[in-house]
Amino acid sequence: MDGYDLAKCIEHTNLRPFATCADIEKLCNEAKENEFYGICVNPCWVGHAQKFLGHSDVKITTVIGFPLGSTSTESKVAETRKALLDGADEFDMVVNIGCLKSKKFDVVKNDICAIRNTCGEKILKLILECCYLTDSEKDEACRMAVKAGADFVKTSTGFGPGGATEKDVILMKKAIEGTRVKIKASGGINTYEDAVKMIRAGASRIGTSSSIEILKGARMRL
């Protein structure tokens, strides 16, 4: 896979709690220069990113209920509404992990549906945080994401004890087979080889803070 094709799969990410305004500006400039698909930032930076990106084609993704997924539906809805007003294009929502593991599937589905209804036609991704889930829980979460109208399922927040794995992407691909839902792999994807492995396993989007290094790896193969 060449660098251009790979760049169009990447959401250049900075979700660090200590990220500064200057860091977000740098992220936006790098995304424009390298023609990444988009950026991913915490909600408080969406408005700033919008100003820095101007009229570029770079999409702004933000996170909802991040990184634990355990905030109330009402707070997730409020967070989504504010991010919409600030200019977010896409929303990565963390599944309510505790409710999923407690088999409170109606609660989980209603949580997803509430954000789906709030963000309208914008892209909604459901972060599963796979490192905390059994294979059957991952499968169930993917199926709920489909039923609730999510556009993507995503492997990880990057803040848990484990990130994206080839095995999880393959499992997720099987769970969503025959639907319009896609896969975003994120967490621990630091090299060109990591990124290509995830795409070959079934991911169509990559979330990473190592985007520049990954592109350098792609260019070294030309």
* Domain spanning 3-219, CATH architecture: Alpha-Beta Barrel (3.20)
Given the residues 154, 168, 182, 194, select the one marked as catalytic: 154
Question: Is residue 92 annotated as part of the catalytic site, yes or no?
Answer: yes
Is 184 among the catalytic positions? yes
Catalytically annotated residue among 76, 151, 184, 194: 184
- The CA distance from 217 to 196, in Å, is 11
* Tens-place pLDDT, residues 191-221: 999 999 999 999 999 999 999 999 999 988 7
Band (3; pLDDT cuts 50, 70, 90): low
Q: How far is CA 179 from CA 86, 118, 143, 173, 203, in A?
A: 31, 22, 10, 10, 14
pLDDT digits 0-9 by tens, 184-197:
999 999 999 999 99
Average pLDDT over residues 66-70: 97
| Domain ranges for the chain | 3-219
Strand partners, 90: 61, 123
> Of these residues, 92, 111, 151, 194, which one is catalytic?
92
